[in-house]
Chain A
Amino acid sequence: MEFSRVRLLYKLISHNQRLQARRHPMFEKKMVMKILSYIFIAFWAVYLVMLGFAAYSYFEGSALEAFDWIDGGMIWFLIVDFLSRFAMQETPAQNIKQYKLHNIPTGFLLHTFLLRMGLQPYNLFWAFFFVPFGLLSIPHFYGITGFFGFIIGWWLMYVLNSYWYLLWRTLLNRNFFFIVIPVITYAALAYFGIFFDTDSQWLFQGTVRLMRGFCQWNPMCWLLFVAAVVPLYIVNFRLQKVAIYVEIAKTEVVKQFKTHNMTFLDRFGVIGEYFKLELKSTVRNLVVRKQFITGALCMLMLCGLFSFSDIYDEFPFMRVFICMYCFTCLGVMTLTMVMCAEGNYIDGLMVRKETVLSLLKAKYYFQCMILIVPLLFSIMPIMEGKITWLTALGCMLFTSGAVFPFIFQLAVYNDMTIHLNEKLTKTGRDTKVQMLMAGGALFLPMLVMYALVECFDDSIASILMLSIGLIGTVLHPLWLRDIYKRFMKRRYANMDGFRNSR
């Protein structure tokens, strides 16, 4: 291909990608939402800058240089970055599909998207941390060129991490169990590289030497990066090439489904019907099922940690705190997207009377029923005397009567449809309001508990939480109707949002 055509195509594709991001349904929302999203980004940027200054102050004067501590802990930075990419980074296969029938070589498309992936601005986001930190710690030893080497070195590590993430994200789309490999890799690196042999700490020492090499512009370090990134790039290239055809030829395997009437729920009338709908939605829709399984695994993990280990036993507050999260985590994780699945068939619901109210009630009862699982897990810590029955019941009722009413408010504001069986990740699914509410739902109980445990003793705190929760639980018909009324007031805007994002 001629260079001028390469340049033209690259420019066109880049332009389209920018438009895609800019014209994302979320980006076309109200000004308030836009400002909120900018505030959200600015918050993290400022937070990282502060962290950069704080890290320097913390490590200054220690046995090692401040930058050595940070460089040595590279694995932790990369793990956090890897996790954050689940919400940020898409795979190229789904974007290439739309260009596939045009007169553009597939190889060129793949190179373009992979290259843009490496150059994406997100890889530079951590610079908010490394620039202030590097400015304070590096020039003193390696001069200003050393500082630039440090910043570029870290950026290259994030580029490497983005390709590493892409590899597993693509495989994960085929089979969820591929998640095991990066988890094991990071865990093994951290364990064997740092904790296993505390004398050598080869990973710690190795990353320190690598980054010192970058600061000194040592050619070996740059070569090492090239030696790591080239195979990763090639593997990704080949994998994406196959993934495009998988994506294009993707046909849903039509399974045979038996009709389940779940007649035992018939006695609950219309609510029972919506309860069945909630159960079937969770079982039969890939995205809803994954969301539920992830939440349930988190809940079980927390329950397991609480019941079978003593890592949270040192402080009374921590015991109540972890007990609380056993109850709240699944609800918060699934209810953040409340009504988003229903966006697919909202028109059908809205032409029938008060269906949304019955649906909300069914969802609430479904979530409340699940709370029995952490309550059962609490029996062991109760027997061991870690917490009392009062605390466990207090946490459970506080979840159903205070946390759920809070997170259910999202039913009024959520207006983005989630595609029920979408296999590939689409970023930007969570709105900023959802993030804020989820954050609130996670921190609210902690704040309340902290205040109660600090002001009173354990049992009085538990009684107060139980009372607050009991009131909220008993009054659920009232607050659910209030949510329904507010939903109906916003119905045109919400339905518009649901239709536009289908």
Chain B
Amino acid sequence: MNLTIEKLTKSFGDKQALDIDHYAIHSGEIIGLVGNNGAGKTTLFRIILDLLHADTGCVTIDGYVDGVPVSCDTAKSEEWKAYTGAFVDTGFLIDYLTPEEYFRFIAKISGIKDDVLHDRLLQFDGFMNGEILGQKTLIRNLSMGNKQKVGIIGAMLHHPHLLLLDEPFNFLDPTSQLAMKYLLETYSHEHKATIIVSSHNLTHTLDICSRITLLEHGLILKDYDRDYAMLNSEIEEYFRGQQSGKI
């Protein structure tokens, strides 16, 4: 699934939160969105997902779903929702359901049968680490890490062609972070899906992403192709420069 952003701007009062002239993501890419707090990562996610109104510009998703060409502007149509999965924060979770009920709810509204759901959940077994299913607990009573896992699994259950995850490594313990990395790599490989991940964890982001986009003050400063050694040193240098500038 391709994603194209054209002349996108968004400001909150006097503050320019986003200003992207042109940005294109190609099918099958895993994009890592990095930047300091307030860089505009979550705002960009929200605009892509039509949860926030852009001042100008548009976001277009196009590609093939089951061999059929699709194309739509996310603010003008709801068609993209069928092949897009996303988790931004706990505001995506219906927290008075148990994880099982939540997954079943998503499966039902996505047209997934019970046996298929069962098989799909098995694929997340390692990631869930025995802490999600069968706990007889509502989502609101889970730890932040486990809520994060429920949200991520919920976003991936219907096998979306485009997956957006905002800070997916947050709140996860080291084992789950590694499982998360493996999960994303496997998913991308198996489904040829386009994945956009924002994160403050540079190591994990660099490990899994084929492309890294550096966002700062709403602007795309750099767009790196994967070359781990060069990327690592360049990005670290950038953030070190930012820090020394502040100090």
List residues of A whose CB falls within 8 A of some B CB: 252, 254, 256-261, 266, 269-270, 272-273, 276-277, 280-281, 284-285, 344-348, 350-355, 358, 420-421, 491-492, 495-496, 499, 502
Chain A CB within 8 A of B91 CB: yes
Q: In the complex the two chains form, what is the Cα distance from A285 to B81 in whole Å?
A: 28
Judging by beta carbons under 8 Å apart, are A254 and B137 in contact? yes
Chain A CB within 8 A of B141 CB: yes
- Provide the residues of chain B in CB contact with A350, threshold 8 Å: 49-51
The contact sample of 24 A-B pairs, CB cut-off 8 A, is A256-B137, A257-B98, A258-B136, A259-B98, A259-B101, A260-B101, A272-B108, A273-B109, A280-B96, A284-B96, A284-B138, A344-B91, A344-B95, A345-B92, A345-B93, A345-B94, A348-B93, A350-B50, A351-B86, A352-B109, A353-B81, A420-B96, A495-B52, A496-B52
Name the distance in Å between B183's Cβ and chain A's nearest Cβ.
20
Name the distance in Å between B153's Cβ and chain A's nearest Cβ.
13
Q: Which residues from 78 to 136 on chain B have a C-beta closer than 8 Å to any C-beta of chain A? A: 78-79, 81-82, 84, 86, 88-89, 91-98, 100-101, 104-105, 108-110, 136
Judging by beta carbons under 8 Å apart, are B51 and A347 in contact? yes
**By DSSP majority rule, is chain A's interface helix, strand, loop, or mixed?**
helix
Chain A CB within 8 A of B53 CB: yes
Q: In the complex the two chains form, what is the Cα distance from A243 to B93 in whole Å?
A: 31
Q: Look across to chain A and name the residue whose beta carbon is closest to the beta carbon of B94.
A: A345
- Provide the residues of chain A in CB contact with B82, threshold 8 Å: 353
- Number of interchain pairs (Cβ within 8 Å): 87
Name the distance in Å between B39's Cβ and chain A's nearest Cβ.
19
Judging by beta carbons under 8 Å apart, are B101 and A280 in contact? yes
Q: In the complex the two chains form, what is the Cα distance from A344 to B97 in whole Å?
A: 13
Judging by beta carbons under 8 Å apart, are A347 and B100 in contact? no
Closest A-B pairs by Cβ, 10 of them: A348-B92, A492-B53, A256-B136, A353-B81, A284-B96, A347-B91, A273-B108, A259-B100, A254-B141, A353-B78
Name the distance in Å between B83's Cβ and chain A's nearest Cβ.
10
Judging by beta carbons under 8 Å apart, are A351 and B92 in contact? yes
Q: In the complex the two chains form, what is the Cα distance from A260 to B79 in whole Å?
A: 31
- Provide the residues of chain B in CB contact with A254, threshold 8 Å: 137, 141
Judging by beta carbons under 8 Å apart, are B52 and A348 in contact? no
Judging by beta carbons under 8 Å apart, are A257 and B95 in contact? no
Q: Which residues from 36 to 66 on chain B have a C-beta closer than 8 Å to any C-beta of chain A? A: 49-53
Q: Look across to chain B and name the residue whose beta carbon is closest to the beta carbon of A355.
A: B109
Name the distance in Å between A9's Cβ and chain B's nearest Cβ.
33
Q: Look across to chain B and name the residue whose beta carbon is closest to the beta carbon of A350.
A: B51
Q: Look across to chain A and name the residue whose beta carbon is closest to the beta carbon of B109.
A: A270
Judging by beta carbons under 8 Å apart, are B96 and A285 in contact? yes
Q: A258-B136, A273-B109, A344-B91 are in contact. List 10 more A-B contacts (CB 8 A).
A: A273-B108, A285-B96, A345-B91, A347-B49, A347-B51, A348-B93, A350-B50, A351-B49, A351-B50, A351-B81
The one of B81, B92, B95 that contacts A347, using a Cβ cutoff of 8 Å: B92
The one of B89, B96, B105 that contacts A273, using a Cβ cutoff of 8 Å: B105
- Provide the residues of chain A in CB contact with B104, threshold 8 Å: 261
Name the distance in Å between B101's Cβ and chain A's nearest Cβ.
6
Q: Look across to chain B and name the residue whose beta carbon is closest to the beta carbon of A492.
A: B53
- Provide the residues of chain B in CB contact with A502, threshold 8 Å: 91
- Provide the residues of chain A in CB contact with B101, threshold 8 Å: 259-261, 280
Q: Look across to chain A and name the residue whose beta carbon is closest to the beta carbon of B100.
A: A259
Name the distance in Å between A436's Cβ and chain B's nearest Cβ.
27
Q: Interface code B134-150, partner A: CB below 8 Å = 1, 0 otherwise?
A: 00111011000000000
Given the interface contacts A344-B95, A345-B95, A351-B81, does A257 sit within 8 Å of B51 by beta carbon? no
Name the distance in Å between B89's Cβ and chain A's nearest Cβ.
7
- Provide the residues of chain A in CB contact with B91, threshold 8 Å: 344-348, 499, 502
Judging by beta carbons under 8 Å apart, are A257 and B49 in contact? no
Q: Interface code B147-161, partner A: CB below 8 Å = 1, 0 otherwise?
A: 000000010000000
Q: Look across to chain B and name the residue whose beta carbon is closest to the beta carbon of A502.
A: B91
Q: In the complex the two chains form, what is the Cα distance from A496 to B47 in whole Å?
A: 12
The one of B53, B81, B97 that contacts A280, using a Cβ cutoff of 8 Å: B97
Q: Look across to chain A and name the residue whose beta carbon is closest to the beta carbon of B106.
A: A352
Name the distance in Å between A144's Cβ and chain B's nearest Cβ.
53
Name the distance in Å between B195's Cβ and chain A's nearest Cβ.
16
- Provide the residues of chain A in CB contact with B79, threshold 8 Å: 353
Q: In the complex the two chains form, what is the Cα distance from A100 to B37 in whole Å?
A: 30
Judging by beta carbons under 8 Å apart, are B97 and A351 in contact? no
Q: In the complex the two chains form, what is the Cα distance from A344 to B141 in whole Å?
A: 15
Judging by beta carbons under 8 Å apart, are B84 and A351 in contact? yes
Q: In the complex the two chains form, what is the Cα distance from A358 to B111 in whole Å?
A: 14
Q: Look across to chain B and name the residue whose beta carbon is closest to the beta carbon of A254.
A: B141
Q: Look across to chain B and name the residue whose beta carbon is closest to the beta carbon of A266.
A: B108
Judging by beta carbons under 8 Å apart, are A348 and B94 in contact? yes
